[in-house]
């Protein structure tokens, strides 16, 4: 039976439209994998770059995919803004050895993402926060971009801090595929949304908010010199207190005792880092030593590493003037007792993508494929400092387990305890290698 020519023509046209739209969807999904962050410093837009990026293909994609949700369309626009901002930054460094390479590496990773990147635990949303930490001319991250080992590990476009503009239903669905500290699996969408709504200040978007001028990062901000303090027994008798306090910022973790240990550990605390569970354990275990509440004092910021829904339910409650909840697990842990009321400006919340990235890219553990595995809280703290500070000096990490007690505050020698969800040996090997490369300065005591 003969088929009318008009039907053939319509069929071919229909097949062409379906094919083109399918290709458009594929390109669109690849390009919707990032989130830009509003600049925290004054920046003049480059109209020529924006014009180049608003090309015929992009206009076609936005027209052809008009049926898709507004959130997807905004993601594609954010992709362009993020890459454009990074490109503007790289072009502003014409004589540098890292500016162009920085942009090209990020662009190459963007192009090689599959359409199913959001299902892959080793893929992350793209973000431009890191540009706010590249203002120091001698920042360690310039060295990280040029040194082979760290350049292989370092993905600067992974988001560091999590705040209100990161939340959407699509992001909730993406991160709900990853468990524990790696994402939002089995966590309540509304609880997360409400907690992040409260994190809507410039303070929540940038680590060193004490340097703001009228809510912006000044162009002549200078360099951030940081001390990262672990609790290893090697610090007992170290006499490093004054040296530690001389830093611009001091990071501490877990049972961060300073009273009675000033000579060895100093007194200054800028950032106290924890998960809700490690904080609960630290307060319970440290109470007999006098550690009954997190460190407090003017300007201290509290850095939350979210590893379960308790983080979000806690922040949602305390930042909205409601009583803080107990943990929802079988232990029913009581909420931590902060000496002063916690305000949104005091809080830094680390992005799940950043925590997952540290596991897969930095801590090269043979156990990383195990569901339970994650970097130690101290390792997350150290690597957070490495991604934000310009100089990183490390104390209390990597000491001999046979020569030194577990903690500097132990009254008698305590053997090191290995936990199934951590790989201390892999982390210690990483610290030593970074020290050898001059990326961190690791205090070594024999």
Per residue in 44-90, pLDDT tens?
344 444 444 444 444 434 433 333 344 445 555 666 788 888 888 88
> Helical H runs in 44-136?
47-53, 56-64, 70-91, 99-111
417 burial level (CB within 10 Å; 0-12, 13-18, 19+): exposed
Helix, strand or coil for residue 304? strand
Query: 208 pLDDT exceeds 80?
Result: yes
pLDDT of residue 102: 84
> Given pLDDT bands bounded at 50, 70 and 90, which one contains residue 369?
low
Q: What span, in angstroms and rounded, lies between the C-alpha atoms of 112 and 106?
A: 10
> Given pLDDT bands bounded at 50, 70 and 90, which one contains residue 10?
very low
For 6, the enclosing helix (H) or strand (E) is: helix 5-30
pLDDT of residue 40: 58
Per residue in 220-233, pLDDT tens?
889 999 999 999 99
User: Which whole number is the average pLDDT over 297-313?
Assistant: 96
Best mean pLDDT range from 15-24, 130-139, 198-207, 400-409 = 198-207
Query: Of the candidates 115, 130, 104, which has an alpha carbon nearest to the alpha carbon of residue 35?
Result: 130
User: Which whole number is the average pLDDT over 40-44?
Assistant: 46
Is there a contact between 299 and 212 (Cβ–Cβ < 8 Å)? no
Both ends of the chain: CA-CA distance in Å?
Answer: 91
pLDDT of residue 414: 86
C-alpha pair distances (Å), 335 with each of 61, 308, 338: 49, 14, 9
Query: 149 pLDDT exceeds 90?
Result: no
Tell me the whole-structure pTM to 2 decimals. 0.83
b or e along 96-121 (b: 16 or more beta carbons within 10 Å of the residue's beta carbon)? Answer: eebbeebbebbeeebeebeeebbeeb
237: left (phi over 0), alpha (psi -120 to 50) or beta: left
User: Which whole number is the average pLDDT over 354-358?
Assistant: 95
Per residue in 243-263, pLDDT tens?
999 999 999 999 999 999 999
pLDDT of residue 74: 52
Helix, strand, coil proportions of the chain in percent (round to 5)?
Answer: 45, 10, 45
β-pair partners for 298: none
Query: 339 pLDDT exceeds 80?
Result: yes
Strands in 301-304's sheet, in edge-to-edge order, are 347-349, 301-304, 271-274, 249-253, 225-229, 391-395, 441-442
Q: What span, in angstroms and rounded, lies between the C-alpha atoms of 384 and 224?
A: 13
């Amino acid at each position: 039976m003969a088929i009318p020519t008009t039907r053939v023509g319509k069929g071919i046209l229909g097949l062409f439209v379906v094919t083109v739209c399918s290709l458009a969807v594929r390109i669109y999904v690849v390009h919707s994998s990032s989130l830009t962050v509003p600049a925290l410093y004054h920046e003049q837009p480059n109209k020529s770059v924006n014009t180049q990026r608003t090309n015929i293909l992009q206009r076609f994609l936005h027209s052809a995919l008009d049926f898709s949700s507004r959130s997807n369309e905004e993601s594609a626009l954010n992709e362009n803004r993020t890459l454009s901002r990074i490109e503007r930054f790289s072009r502003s460094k014409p004589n540098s050895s890292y500016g162009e390479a920085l942009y090209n590496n990020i662009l190459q990773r963007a192009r090689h993402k599959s359409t199913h990147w959001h299902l892959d635990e080793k893929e992350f949303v793209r973000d431009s926060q890191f540009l706010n930490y590249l203002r120091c001319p001698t920042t360690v991250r310039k060295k990280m971009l040029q040194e082979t080992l760290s350049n292989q590990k370092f993905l600067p476009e992974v988001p560091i801090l999590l705040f209100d503009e990161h939340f959407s239903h699509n992001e909730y669905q993406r991160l709900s595929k990853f468990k524990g500290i790696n994402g939002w699996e089995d966590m309540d969408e509304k609880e997360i949304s409400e907690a992040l709504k409260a994190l809507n200040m410039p303070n929540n978007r940038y680590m060193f908010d004490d340097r703001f001028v009228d809510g912006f990062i000044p162009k002549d901000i200078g360099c951030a010199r940081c001390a990262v303090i672990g609790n290893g027994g090697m610090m007992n008798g170290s006499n490093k207190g004054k040296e530690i306090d001389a830093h611009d910022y001091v990071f501490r973790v877990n049972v961060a005792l300073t009273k009675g240990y000033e000579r060895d550990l100093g007194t200054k605390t800028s950032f106290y880092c924890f998960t809700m569970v490690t904080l609960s354990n630290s307060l319970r275990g440290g109470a007999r030593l006098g550690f009954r509440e997190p460190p407090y004092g003017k300007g201290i910021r509290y850095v939350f590493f979210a590893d379960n829904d308790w983080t979000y339910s806690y922040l949602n409650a305390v930042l909205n003037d409601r009583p803080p909840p107990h943990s929802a697990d079988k232990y029913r842990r009581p909420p931590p007792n902060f000496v002063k009321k916690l305000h949104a400006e005091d809080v830094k919340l680390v992005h799940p993508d950043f925590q997952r990235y540290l596991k897969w890219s930095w801590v090269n553990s043979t156990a990383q494929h195990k569901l339970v595995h994650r970097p130690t809280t101290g390792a997350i703290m150290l690597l957070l400092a490495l991604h934000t500070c310009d100089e990183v000096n490390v104390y209390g990490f990597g000491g001999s387990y046979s020569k030194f007690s577990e903690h500097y505050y132990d009254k008698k020698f305590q053997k090191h305890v290995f936990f199934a969800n951590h790989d201390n040996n892999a982390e210690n090997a990483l610290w030593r290698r970074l020290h050898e490369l001059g990326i961190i300065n690791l205090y070594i005591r024999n």
